[in-house]
A and B are shown apart, each in its own frame.
Chain A
């Protein structure tokens, strides 16, 4: 509790609860994040030949371990579903209105949750998008600043 007080007898103060976690990503997601640092997006093949992106350690349909075959996907893809954030909060990825979207990247069979920077009037399921990379990449999902509509340029 900070020492900030008010004139009144009832005390009140800012209180920030923060957990600055760092988590290990494991061998499969390690490949995904390492690829992001090189501005590439990779998925992993299941034993049935489906490509999961983001990669997972197990096939969500069978529970079996995935193969060790990593394949580059995207960078473009298709919006499978989306929701619009009209009033972004402080820590959200963009300061202006944006959409969260499930994006199935070219060559992948599953969708990646990411941000789309677009006018809501132009957003639609099935629209094609491509990543906008940050100038500096460090190996985290935010290396892709957001996706943008392919027709926007």
Chain B
């Protein structure tokens, strides 16, 4: 019996695994086809005029279909962030990194991504960032086409202008 075997068992693995087949639907499929061309597409609600990105085909506030397609910038403003120091499988961003909600210019809901390209203690609410895309020949209909967001160096957006999106 080895030494490892003599130590008491302190923990057990209790994995949980759910295998789905995800169908994106019309709105999100169009969004992903746009991503494959290096463009970010949102949809505007005909009632409240909010622009959703990624679009889901309806406005959850107004309960109406959103059909008007709008181009959204790949630049935006950090609405909130969290520093991640714990490794995770399927994530090839070096640790630690900042997870961010980016309010893309022209959108009304935040877009989830990570920030690279500056010291973590400089990441802040109101900071201006831009998408760093993969090489053009590697663009595909997946959010992995946007590697991360990087600071642009533009002046910060005052908090009062972001308040309604938090």
Residues of A within 8 A of B (CB): 1-3, 5, 9-25, 30-31, 33-34, 36-37, 90-91, 139-141
Interface residue count for B (Cβ, 8 Å)?
Answer: 31
The stretch among B17-25, B92-100, B153-161 that forms the contact with chain A is: B17-25
B-side residues, CB < 8 A to A, are 5, 8-26, 28-30, 32-33, 89, 140-144
Instruction: Provide the bound-state CA to CA distance between A21 and B89, in Å.
Output: 12
Name A16's closest neighbour in chain B (CB-CB): B19
Flag if A22 contacts B12 (CB, 8 Å): yes
Chain B residues near A140: list those with CB within 8 A. Answer: 9, 12-13
Contact of A14 among B16, B20, B141 (CB under 8 A): B20
Task: Check B26–A20 contact: CB distance below 8 A.
Answer: no
List residues of chain B with CB within 8 A of the CB of A139: 9, 12
Are A22 and B14 closer than 8 Å at their CB atoms? yes
Does the CB pair A1–B143 fall under 8 Å? yes
Contact of A10 among B13, B18, B25, B144 (CB under 8 A): B25
Q: A20 — which chain B residues lie within 8 A by C-beta? A: 13, 15, 89
Q: Complex: how many Å from CA A9 to CA B26?
A: 8
The answer to whether A16 touches B10, judged by C-beta atoms less than 8 angstroms apart, is no
Docked CA distance A88–B137 (Å): 44
Q: A17-B20, A25-B9, A37-B9 are in contact. Are A11 and B15 (CB under 8 A)?
A: no
**What are 10 of the A-B contact pairs (CB < 8 Å)?**
A5-B141, A9-B30, A17-B17, A20-B89, A21-B13, A24-B11, A30-B9, A30-B10, A34-B8, A140-B9
Known interface pairs A3-B141, A12-B22. Does A23 touch B15 (Cβ–Cβ under 8 Å)?
A: no
